[in-house]
Structure 1
Amino acid sequence: MFKRQRSKNSSSGMQNGDGTPPTIVENNGGKPPVSPVSRNTLQFYSQLAHGSPTAFVSGFSNVKELYDKIGECFDIPPSEILFCTLNTYKTDMKKLLGGQIGLEDFIFAHRKGRPKEVELTKSEDALGLTITDNGAGYAFIKRIKEGSVIYNIPHIQVGDHIEKLDGQNMVGKRHFEVAKALKDIPKGATFTIRLVEPMKSGFSSIAPKLNKTNGTKKGYGSGKETLRFKASGKAEIQEQDSMMDAGVEKINNILESFMGINDSELSAQIWELSVGKQNSMDFAESIDESDLAVFEFSDEIIIELWGAITDARDGRL
């Protein structure tokens, strides 16, 4: 349907943040401190999810730089961080750090835990996994479909990093590459998957506390402004956009349905490429002229994505 020439443009260079050095602060008796975030400082409170003092990080413009800053704060290699969640130390895939951070969000970094290898047979065409990645070289399991091949294997869990498939290193590969590698395993074949699970939490005192005055949880991310990671590498403060949020969520669902991947930053980039486009042909062309051409989206996916975008624009979501 669409005649498209796929080309990959080089993205612009990464922009430096404000360069403010990270500073360790006291944990205040386990109580969540008041966020110091402002337009000028852009500092975010952070802890290691399995337990640590509280620090605040600043001076980053993308996820990889954020991991570098967290590593500096806690004196660990950034490669030890599997992923981050917002406002919870639990391995809650609904709270994953993606393409944006609320200016009052509390960042919990999940560190590498124990490795494990599982041998299994691909008895169905689909394994039932949704794969996402941390934006810094680690792909991991975001969702396991109920009743799937993987569902009844207790050693494979949500949050596990997929490190190797039959000895082939998956570190440094994007989610769609890992998803394709899993899809390409022939039905009936037996293979070995090496996983690394996130380190388990050692305490629960860092969970959001109840407000004694009204009995409700403190809403860390209740602010209307968010720091969005842009495809150009520059992070920008933007007002919360409910129409965009609905569209990005729907786009993410489509990516999961068609490709078995989950990536809110990619979904936001697709949304941004639709801005100013009035039809699916123009939208397809904008995809092909961007660095997203590498995904080689089929016409069917393009049509589904455009439908989600128009539904969000018209308030049908």
Structure 2
Amino acid sequence: MHKLFGKKNKSKDNLVESQYNSTGNDGPRPAETNSMPDSNGTAHQQNVVQKNETPPPQPPRPKLVFHCQQAHGSPTGIISGFTNVKELYQKIADCYDLPVGEILFCTLNTHKVDMSRLLGGQIGLEDFIFAHVKGQPKELDVTKSQDALGLTITDNGAGYAFIKRIKEDSIMDKQQLVSVGDHIEKIDGKSLVGCRHYEVAKMLKDIPKGTTFTLRLVEPMKSGFSFVEKSSGKKGSGNLGSGKQTLRLRSSGPATVEIPDDVVNVAVDKINGLLESFMGINDTELAQSIWELGSKLDNPSDFAMKVDNSDLNEFGFTDDFVFDLWGAITDAKSGRLTKATTEFNEQF
């Protein structure tokens, strides 16, 4: 057995402490009476008895626990107590005693740079988290000889945008130093740390054709994998880990445990495909938010108004694109969508 990091032991101690504390104050408060004691003190005595009654024991609240490792190799850590992606990254950083800025992105159930396994807005209760940390930085000069560079960009939800796909025979496909999983750190010396994927995509799209620019990338660390252990199959919270339930993470609001709906999954995949085609970005959480915004509406006009009056307005969606999003939502609701492979055509 590999020894766990000191931080991990601390997390385990915190877990036990939290479980005990969760039952200490959760019991119902004893009923109190507003009766004034009469001359013989009967009401007062009854009130004392009520206050001395022991409340019935409450079942402990489930504590969701996930296992993680660094993708290039490390002992297994235990992560719990997070409600959004940024908190998750901080928990992982604390576990391994490294700056949170060193974590580029996470994959689920594989240590490989597999963009189909990226951690997004949902984590299965049986999922194993692999954290990919910063490796070798690299700089290259790129000449934008075509309108599109051939990239699909996503981000980790915590300030880093990185390459999810490279289109075959595109400008970037011919750059030997560029790889899927690379963090786009700078363009012409301007730091992109803290930028969302759509902001980075717009910067690349706005570079005039024929311009040569300098791109600074940081690739994930690549190393041996000798420390990584296989899953024991006992992850999750025990009584909740069915393999189908997922922890839904939100940028605002509490995380919730949900059972994925096939209709929702198909709709989100289709919407994400549209985001890639029209904007060159990939964001499952954004696609989920668009679905939730339109799934209960009855016509495209109401949907367009909802988009304009929501945080989605900052993306600058065109009217035609909003109509395409509405089409994906209605197709999913009517059952016309199936699990499809969506072609994408980057525009930057």
| TM-score class, shorter | 0.7 to 0.9
- Of residues 302, 313, 329, the one that matches 1:282 is 302
Equivalence for 1:27: none
The number of aligned residues is 276
Change (3 A) 1:119 1:268: same
> Percent same amino acid among aligned pairs?
62
Query: CA contact under 8 A between 2:76 and 2:228: conserved in structure 1?
Result: no
Q: TM-score, normalised by structure 1?
A: 0.83
Q: How does 1:18-57 map to 2 (within 5 A)?
A: 22-23=11-12, 40-57=62-79
Equivalence for 1:63: 85
Change (3 A) 1:225 1:191: same
Letter in 2 for 1:167: G
Is 2:77 the counterpart of 1:88?
no
* Greater relative CO, 1 or 2 (CA 8 Å, sep 6+): 1
| Cα distance in 2 between the residues matched to 1:262 and 1:312 | 19
Is 2:142 the counterpart of 1:123?
no
Equivalence for 2:204: 182
- Of residues 299, 308, 311, the one that matches 2:328 is 308
Change (3 A) 1:39 1:113: farther
| Cα distance in 1 between the residues matched to 2:74 and 2:251 | 32
Q: How does 1:59-208 map to 2 (within 5 A)?
A: 59-203=81-225, 206=228
Q: How does 1:235-314 map to 2 (within 5 A)?
A: 235-314=255-334
| Cα distance in 2 between the residues matched to 1:144 and 1:61 | 32
| Cα distance in 2 between the residues matched to 1:298 and 1:210 | 48
| Cα distance in 2 between the residues matched to 1:195 and 1:73 | 26
Unaligned runs of 5+ in 2: 1-8, 14-59, 234-240, 338-348
| Cα distance in 1 between the residues matched to 2:11 and 2:271 | 35
| Cα distance in 1 between the residues matched to 2:285 and 2:272 | 9
| Cα distance in 2 between the residues matched to 1:49 and 1:157 | 17
Change (3 A) 1:181 1:130: same
Q: TM-score, normalised by structure 2?
A: 0.76
Deviation at 1:201, TM superposition (A): 3.6
The C-alpha deviation readout for 1:166-207, integer Å capped at 9, x for no partner, is 011111000000000000111000010000000014126747
Letter in 2 for 1:304: D
| Cα distance in 1 between the residues matched to 2:10 and 2:315 | 37
Q: Which runs of 4+ in 1 moved over 2 A?
A: 20-24, 204-211, 230-233
| Cα distance in 2 between the residues matched to 1:112 and 1:54 | 19
Letter in 1 for 2:102: E
Larger radius of gyration: 2
Is 2:225 the counterpart of 1:225?
no
Larger helix share, 1 or 2? 2
The C-alpha deviation readout for 1:234-288, integer Å capped at 9, x for no partner, is 2111111111011001100000000000000111111111131011111111212
Q: Provide the alpha-carbon RMSD of the alignment.
A: 2.1
Deviation at 1:232, TM superposition (A): 2.4
Deviation at 1:159, TM superposition (A): 0.3
